[in-house]
A and B are shown apart, each in its own frame.
Chain A
Amino acid sequence: MLKPVYTILNNKKVVPFVFLLPFMTVFLIFKVYPVITAVIMSFQNFQGIQSQEWVGLTNYQNVFDLVRFNQALTNTTAYTLGTLLVLIPLPLILAVLLDSGRVVQSTVFRTLLFLPALTSLVVTGTIFRLMLAENGFINLFLEATLGVRPLRWLEIADLALPSLIVVATWRWTGINILYFNSGLVNIPRELYEAATIDGANVFQLFWSITLPLLRPTTLFVVVLSIIGGYQVFVEPFIVYNGGGGPGDSALSMALLIYRTAFTSFNFGTAAAMGVILAAIIFVFSLIQFRFFGVFRQED
């Protein structure tokens, strides 16, 4: 009885599937299946657990009619763009400087700048909620150094986005430096030597060697930031006390989905919002895959 089972399990055609079984089981049940049900749900009137009926595109229509959703979409897009404007050039330049041989103990600095990436986003949020408070450290510091009058960072709508970008800069700069660094070390040094002999200066080296050869890394970080930016959730959730901030100025799409699902229990609408979010991220990811050529797998 045991022998045939053993032979089958050791058959070269069967073996890979046995090894794949655990991953694929979890993957299909908890990743593929919920995507399908979420898409179905987005076409249903699905409030609470009971009563679901087909309503076609009504959920989507409602979502786009929702002032809050449009606000969340605008906020999230602005946040994503804002983080891109800071979190690409800044880490790139810092990584190049750290790699230039002109910084003593560059590994120590890379490590110190990386430390924020180890904190939970919850902790990141609590620290900045404390520091951005009206009588918190940041205001006192700005007043003492620049003479700026205390700003109500967490209560003024226009300051929500800058606050969240400050938080993101602290949390992600170090890790982006890491990505850029691993791209930089792969650039052959001979290129720089040859160009230097030809009389190129530092800025020309940066423009015509570093930037072009770093392109794949830069694109990777850009798309990663876009995907992460559009999914921003914990930071506004914690910094603005589970709410969307003053006048919904810190309401992100992910936060709105969470609240639509678990505060209003409006599952159909939440699912439709999720599909829209997925569609946005999907488009940007496809761009990534085109640039990285992942679909051209070996064999």
Chain B
Amino acid sequence: MAARASDTAILSAKPRKKPRIIVSKILMTLFFVMLAVAFVFPLYWMVISSLRPEGRIFVDAFDVFPSVLSLDSYRTLFEEEPFGRWMLNSVLQTGGFAITALFLCTTGGYALAKFRFRGRNLLFVLILVSQMIPFHLLIVSLFLMIIQLGMVESYWGAIIPIAASPIGIFFVRQYMLSIDDELLNAARVDGANEYQIFWSIVLPNARPAIATLFILFSLEYWNNLLWPLIVFRQAENMPLAVGVSRLVNQYRAQYDLVMAGSTLATIPIILLFLFLRRQVMEGLAATGTGMK
């Protein structure tokens, strides 16, 4: 998926006349600037709305660059809502989910990539088919199951039932196919057992895939609503997404709180993304196209 030089695609394949090219370049870039402004604007609006003084959120709705800003909504959020708790829950649950899902997908993906065994193809198809099962078919059964297992209101109840990710295991398998068998066999000859090989050869060699998947799993859980919404009823156990969804229904009029909560749920992700941009974007593109 190496990026191709930018002068290769269709429009520029035409024989060029210089001034025309420059004009069209300017117009085209201008068009995308406007488009980008339109797409980033709602995020800006979220932040700026969260900073408006109390009660000004609709009154000042056309004031794009407000001169008076206030952190009141953030203060209220932490003082009157368990918002700090929600953030902590989100961090812990997201980490727990990403690690659990990674453990399942790296071990399982390794087995699918590097071993031949009876029933492998059947398993492959089964996992693939499971991917098209809508989660809403499962919610009632899963809800009754976690009640019986005593996992309601627990982190594990939120994490385990959604941790066996079909896309994840395929992603790992695809990547691990490219690990040289000779490497593994050489270690076997040297007397390493299969688990040492997995730990000290396979995992280090799959590091880029693991890192990408860790990010994608984290993003998935951090932004997930439906399952944690079912698992958690107690405010002190909820992750951010559920907390904010509660706020938006609880405080129908208090949009400033909701916007502050939304901002705090989003900005860390965007900052993190700016550091890991390539990994996230290429990883997502690969989960889409890598399954062919």
Contact = CB atoms under 8 A, between A and B. Distances in A.
B7 to A, nearest CB: 5
A112 B219 contact: no
Interface stretch (A59-67, A132-140, A156-164): A132-140
Contacts, number: 335
B4 A185 contact: yes
A37 B3 CA distance: 47
A106 B31 CA distance: 12
Interface in B41-64: 42-43, 45-46, 49, 57-58, 61-62
A136 B244 contact: no
A96 B11 CA distance: 9
B62 A278 contact: no
A294 interface: yes
B262 A16 contact: no
B134 A19 contact: no
A119 B10 contact: no
B186 interface: no
Nearest to A15: B194
Nearest to A104: B29
Taking residues whose C-beta sits less than 8 angstroms from the other chain, chain B's interface range is: 35 or more
A123 B244 contact: yes
B262 A281 contact: no
B41 to A, nearest CB: 9
B139 A192 contact: no
Say whether chain B's binding surface is mostly helix, strand, loop, or mixed. helix
Contacts of A234: 225-226
Contacts of B273: 115, 118
A238 B265 CA distance: 15
Say whether chain A's binding surface is mostly helix, strand, loop, or mixed. helix
B34 to A, nearest CB: 11
25 contacts: A19-B115, A26-B160, A94-B35, A97-B32, A102-B21, A109-B36, A113-B36, A115-B40, A118-B270, A122-B223, A130-B46, A130-B49, A130-B255, A179-B288, A182-B288, A184-B9, A185-B3, A202-B10, A216-B292, A220-B288, A258-B226, A261-B143, A262-B230, A267-B144, A277-B137
Given A20-B107, A23-B169, A130-B57, 9 more contacts: A22-B107, A23-B107, A30-B161, A30-B163, A115-B273, A130-B46, A179-B289, A192-B13, A294-B128
Interface of B: 1-4, 6-15, 21, 24-25, 28-29, 32, 35-36, 39-40, 42-43, 45-46, 49, 57-58, 61-62, 103-105, 107-108, 110-112, 115, 117, 121, 123-128, 130-145, 147, 160-164, 169, 193-195, 198, 219, 222-226, 230, 240-241, 244-245, 248-249, 252, 255, 258-259, 262, 265-266, 269-270, 273, 277, 281, 284-286, 288-289, 291-292
